[in-house]
Structure 1
Amino acid sequence: MGITIRRDINVISLAQLHNQLGNDLRPVSGATVARRKISGVHISELEDPTPYLEGGELLLTTGIPVAGPALKMEAYVQRLVARGVGALGLGLGAGVDEVPHGLAEACQAAGLELLIIPTGTPFMAVSRAYWDLVGKEGQADLTASLGTQTALAQAAAQPDALASVIKALAQALGGWAAYLPADNAAATFWPESNRAILGQLWVEASRLDMAATHSASTFQIHGTDVVEYPVLVGRRAAGFLAIGAGRKLTRADRQVILTVCVLLSLKAAQAQEKDEMAAALGSAVTKLFLAGYVEAGRAQAADLGFTVPPGPVRVLVVRGSDDPTADARALEGRLSRETGWTVAGAAVQDSRLLHVEGNLACWLLDAEHDGGTTDPAETPPSFNRWGTEGSGAGAQGGRSESYTSGKQGHRHPTERCSPATDVAAVLSRPMSLGRVREEIGELTALARRLEPHQIVEVAAGQLDPRVQEWVSALRGYTRADLVSTVRAYLQHRGQWEGAARQLGVHRNSLRHRMGIATALLHADPDDPDVAANLWLALRSE
């Protein structure tokens, strides 16, 4: 991995950087930090990063290159010293949890300053502190080729700005360039003749996204050096810029690349703001339908340019995290398989009628959705940052691997390691928009009751035909209150201790009562379908 942030005038010292960061960048020995000048900050996990270094840098690593035999460690340190590296920064908590044995001694013997970045401090914090110091002294090297900068500015103003910027960058560097969005949209690539390597780029993007290092990655594809940069909106990666230059990158080239990253970041931020506004408006329209104001909802949707299904709809209630789009995408494949509605995933992607309240997301889907016209070969699979199933790893290559190496950075509040682990969903059968208000209460109640990973498809206004017989059988037993017993058992999802505590009985008594209830029902209360129907019926008892 590697990205250098540097300038020509070497005035920033390690001591200044330490004063700026405090304990987030400290010497391994606890002594005073040397006032040695550094020319930039570089991040790399290569065993030999020296081809990408020019000397004087503070090199940051998670410890992967120094793990192993002492001879390997000493050779790594000697390569850095020979290249004139200013200092080595070791990030803890990802590759290694403590300073490898012998590393401090090897650095001291070679005259290489060794600094520690503690667990929880992202490498980007060091890079940002360096630039803060550069900016304060007003000596940042922002020189770039005027012709290239002009070409990029013109490209950014084109209707197809993303494709134009990527093409202009690739032409300026004499190679190829690609942009891989983090929202699973199709990649932008120029020239198209190199698209065959896209699969490997997705893998590296997944590696960066999982590590959340907010730094670039250097690697090789077919013997060619490739650099992949994260494009950030705030502290979250909106996508990844991959570059294969036709020549060795100069300082001006690096500035051009950073400029492109800024342009892409601005475009992504604008798109994000637009999406957030659309989501807010879509939520307002959806609330009208949920409250039964169908005509008002249709009129409002028409004014806002939203498409409302002309015919029946399906209601999808997803219980999970506060990122409903990610939750629904995590379930797309399972929705189709477990409900038999083969276009469920496409219907979710095309619907803008979504209302979120707490951890429940309610979607109104077109029950007559035709599946859309998107070419699956152009749709990349999911990042698998959550360890869930990807969708469509095809000829372009899929982000089908999950990586955890790299230094952990700050995550967005809605970003979770595994949102699919506790996502459950209820999908209704087709109904009219006018009936949604009558059904939404039961659907949301059922969604709250489901076990994690459970998906249930229900018909509008219809429970299992046996449910009334089950309730009557429980109510007819006079030696104990089996209705309250089964309701408490279901409410606590089969947890004996909690249910017994709620009923005020010993758990053995609860076990005995549940044995009687099971015999009367001629059905297993632990069966998900039986439990779901019983719970809805007993809620009003």
Structure 2
Amino acid sequence: MVSLSELCAVLGTHLVPVNGRSLPARELSGVHVSELVDPTPYLDGGELLLTTGMPLGGNPAATRQYVERLRSRGVHALGIGLGPWLAEVPEYLCAACDEAQIHLLAVPDGVPFQNVSRSYWALSARSGQAELMGSLGTQTSLAQAAMRPGGAAAVIRGLAQALGGWAAFLPSSGTEPVRYWPESTGALLPLLREETLRLNRAGTHSAATFELHGQPVVEYPIAAGGRIHGFLAVGPGRKLAAPDRQVIMTVCTLLALKARQREAASGAAAVLEGAVAKLVLHGHTEAARILAEDAGHPELPRRVRVLALAAGPGAGEGPQTGAEDLLGAAPALKPAPGVPPLPEQLSGCPLRHERDGVLYVLLSAEDCPQRETRIPAAQMPELSGAVSDPVSLAEVPGVLPGLRRALAQAAAGTLAGTAGPAHAAAEAWVRTLTAYPRADLAGTVTEYLRHRGHWENASRALGVHRNSLRHRIALASSLLGVDLDDPDVFAPLWLELRQRER
């Protein structure tokens, strides 16, 4: 952009200040020539208006009205071309311009107005080229920053500094952190999130402008791969110029590229994790451990519960294409008697594999991070599931036939188990013994059953007196309401307690 002082400096004696006011560095919006009495319909404001003085009317009253019209339009400066109409600038014109705070200049006789216009546009072109070079330099540095670790944060910081304001990136994923600069922008995040949610619900996937605390904010969607990955919010604190918008669009592109990179990395990780689960399901446990280690996956759990999920045709998508939807709805399945409910969030469980129309998932608490459920179970009325008892990785192939049978018998909206009634009762007994707060009843009963009811051997193993052991066993029998020496009781109870020890 070109200021009035720059233009006068270039033109020298061809454009001279008249009223003695110092020329500011304020930018001109253009140079316009008009001999109309009212040129304001053709002006935007901020111009240098050139005239020979013909529209002034030759008297103070007409001149004041003319200057007042220019002031109301926001004209920045008035240039009088001396010659045919005015040999010199009249005092009443100087007074009117001083009162309206419009800079008054003179163009000497014989100097074409075209010289002024040509000089303005030459300076404007030079300024635009400098701004473009500066913009390209900024874009280059932002692209370089994006390639480094923590690139997204560096890009946001660089954008805010380039605009002299603040910037924030609000990702759609709840697992990715919000990035903003400067630190004071953190106070705006709740309002930004609220506005972003509103725009997202309204389907506004183009740039939008709104106000926060009386200041304009521009928000841009970050789109890649056919979906919105987040929104870039910018508070420039000033009017954005064309180079500023180019820098912002460059940042949007860089953030979209980073999103695609994360998406590709996530997809590759999902393929490897699916391969690990497939090896476990086929009994190749050692190969699964080696692949998981080579892929940088956390150490595989020693024991897992295998979850099988199937959706009927009314669910829309099968397990192969709707794994996240199935896992999102699975926690709402109604467990059968004796079957514990599923964790509230399963969408983060990575060890899964689809086979024969069934999605198998290896459940472990540390493998299932907390993520928001994607869809409610009500939208998948034909979803059904079955879950195994805890088993070692080597035992996983052995539970699959039972899982498939339980899944085939499960009604829509229910979660079946693979254990019989005796096992379900044993699970409840162990939970009761473990929950007792005053003594280790579960450990006591385990040693009692391990030594087949021999008081001396069991008390020696526990390090307690025989009478103390008798008291604890009587207490356990009373709590459970069963006879621990009954084979139908101690057999399933012993197996369940053994599982607890592993």
The two structures have a TM-score, normalised by structure 1, of 0.45
More helix by share: 2
